[in-house]
Amino acid sequence: MSFSGFILAGWLIDGSGGEIKKHVFLQIKDGHIRQIKTSLKNDIDQSNLLRRSNLLDLSHCTILPGLVDSHVHLSMSGTDNQQKRKDQLSAGFSDVKDVISRHIESHISCGVLAVRDGGDNHAHAFRYKKECLNPDKTPMCLKVAGRAWHKAGRYGGLIGRSPHEKETLAGSIAKEKENPDQVNPDQRNPDQVNPDHVKIVMSGLNSLTEFGKQTPPQFDLEEMKKAVDTAHAGGLRVMVHANGKIPVSIAVDACCDSIEHGFFMGRENLIKMADKNITWVPTAYTMKAYAEYLKPGSLEVEISKRNLDHQLKQIFTAKKLGVPIATGTDAGSLGVHHGRSIIEELKLLMSAGFPIQEAIRCATCNGAELIGLKKQGLSAGKMPANFITVTGNPEGLPGSLSSCTIYNKSSLEI
């Protein structure tokens, strides 16, 4: 039975990016927010409300919507053990499913209630969603790409595959959409699945030995435009791994839905993204993690720090230009651990000029909109009463997310 009653919150960050509300009353009816009040008519009304038996007193807490991590790789861990990192790329589903479960629990423990997976080379995350994820037993919403697409002979093998032989990128995407998986799970062909979105790799990785080095695009504009149009025609959004001016420019001109990473893409691309309302998922923490986990004093650490500084400047520019930004961590990358890395990514957004409520918007409303969640991302009237709380005022954020509490229709009990 869904909760109906009242909640008294010390502070509310509603996910819209607007001002933080203090001393807030939320009226909940049948598990949905009916109204939010920041003041009552008089002291008698307030006194009567506080004496209600169906009042949940969270006056010592800050309430905010559940977070969204818009870029993760659930089958991979952030370990710096190179043998383990190698083994996880070839591990079978029977071994990986428990790893994915632990990663999901790590996300939930930090208030992340939705993730968008960017692909793995065996489509383990997709299979996990179909066979193991029980929406009635976990608050996690999982969106999966299955396997990413990359050009044959180019970067991307660890998260996907290249288009089928003698087929275009668009043709391969269309074929995958037209052939839903109907085989026995033990005989599963990872190419025969219906993903929640399409992931395309347009560039290589960032260099850790040469600052600002850019790789050529993997697909030209005609290929990308047809691929994006095909995905959109099938109701699928397109996330594009792209670093550097040319790869990002092609992806943006092809009208993709989001640019992932976007290192060294430049101001002109940011202007185009603002004009086209294309979301950017900067994954800045990846470079901070490299700087912390690689050999101290090495060239790689120096370049990682310079890459991070440049990315933070781009984020600052993007904010001024009005580029939609969604928080994504690239969890599974070296040193980027599932769950707690969202705290680090939010800290970096704040260091680039976002006040806490706007940083939270990147990880709630913007992320929910990007991955197609209409009932998450905002704590507002008519929305489901699903939210997280942290003890204390908003000044403790984002660090206080490490010990948050989740409330939803099944846990809102007096």
Residue that wins the pLDDT comparison between 184 and 115 = 115
Domain that holds residue 42: 5-65+379-407
Cα torsion angle, 290, 291, 297, 298, sign: positive
118 vs 370: CA distance, rounded Å: 13
* Block residue for tokens 């204390």: 392
Residue 185: its pLDDT value, please? 39
If asked whether residues 58 and 132 sit together in one domain, one would say no
The CATH number linked to 109 is 3.20.20.140
If asked whether residues 228 and 252 sit together in one domain, one would say yes
The CATH number linked to 15 is 2.30.40.10
Do the domain assignments include residue 414? no
Residue 190: its pLDDT value, please? 47
Q: What is the mean pLDDT of residues 75-94?
A: 94
Residue 184: its pLDDT value, please? 33
Instruction: Report DSSP state, residue 41.
Output: S
Pick the range with the lowest mean pLDDT from 16-30, 154-168, 181-195, 321-335.
181-195
If asked whether residues 310 and 344 sit together in one domain, one would say yes
Burial tier of 187 (Cβ tally within 10 Å: 0-12, 13-18, 19+):
exposed
If asked whether residues 60 and 87 sit together in one domain, one would say no
If asked whether residues 328 and 352 sit together in one domain, one would say yes
Whether 181 has a pLDDT exceeding 60, the answer reads: no
Residue 183: its pLDDT value, please? 27
If asked whether residues 174 and 199 sit together in one domain, one would say yes
If asked whether residues 38 and 149 sit together in one domain, one would say no
The phi, psi pair for 69, rounded to 5°, reads -100, 110
Q: What is the mean pLDDT of residues 343-362?
A: 98
Q: What is the pTM for the complete model shown?
A: 0.94
If asked whether residues 306 and 365 sit together in one domain, one would say yes
Residue 21: its pLDDT value, please? 96
Do the domain assignments include residue 47? yes
What is the domain count for the chain?
A: 2
15 vs 27: CA distance, rounded Å: 18
Instruction: Quote the distance between the C-alpha of residue 80 and its chain's center.
Output: 22
Counting other chains too, the contacts that 192-196 makes at CB distance below 8 Å and 24 or more residues apart are: 193/123, 193/126, 193/146, 195/126, 195/144, 195/145, 195/146, 195/236, 196/116, 196/143, 196/144, 196/145, 196/236, 196/371, 196/372
* pLDDT tens readout for residues 296-339: 999 999 999 999 999 999 999 999 999 999 999 999 999 999 99
If asked whether residues 9 and 101 sit together in one domain, one would say no
Do the domain assignments include residue 413? no
Whether 192 has a pLDDT exceeding 50, the answer reads: no
* pLDDT tens readout for residues 259-306: 999 999 999 999 999 999 999 999 999 999 999 999 999 999 999 999
Do the domain assignments include residue 412? no
From the CB of residue 211, how many other CB atoms can be counted at a distance below 10 Å?
A: 16
Q: Answer for the pair 391, 60: CB distance below 8 angstroms, yes or no.
A: yes
Residue 48: its pLDDT value, please? 60
- Residue 281 CA neighbour count, 13 Å, CB half: 34
If asked whether residues 161 and 99 sit together in one domain, one would say yes
23 vs 18: CA distance, rounded Å: 16
Q: What is the mean pLDDT of residues 34-49?
A: 67
| Helical axes 267-276 vs 299-321, angle rounded to 10° | 40
What value does the mean pLDDT of the chain take? 92
Residue 2: its pLDDT value, please? 66
From the CB of residue 131, how many other CB atoms can be counted at a distance below 10 Å?
A: 11
Please report which confidence band the pLDDT of residue 53 belongs to, taking 50, 70 and 90 as the band edges. Answer: low
Please report which confidence band the pLDDT of residue 187 belongs to, taking 50, 70 and 90 as the band edges. Answer: very low
Do the domain assignments include residue 99? yes
Please report which confidence band the pLDDT of residue 411 belongs to, taking 50, 70 and 90 as the band edges. Answer: low
Whether 178 has a pLDDT exceeding 90, the answer reads: no
Q: Which amino acid is at 330?
A: D
If asked whether residues 249 and 392 sit together in one domain, one would say no
If asked whether residues 258 and 353 sit together in one domain, one would say yes
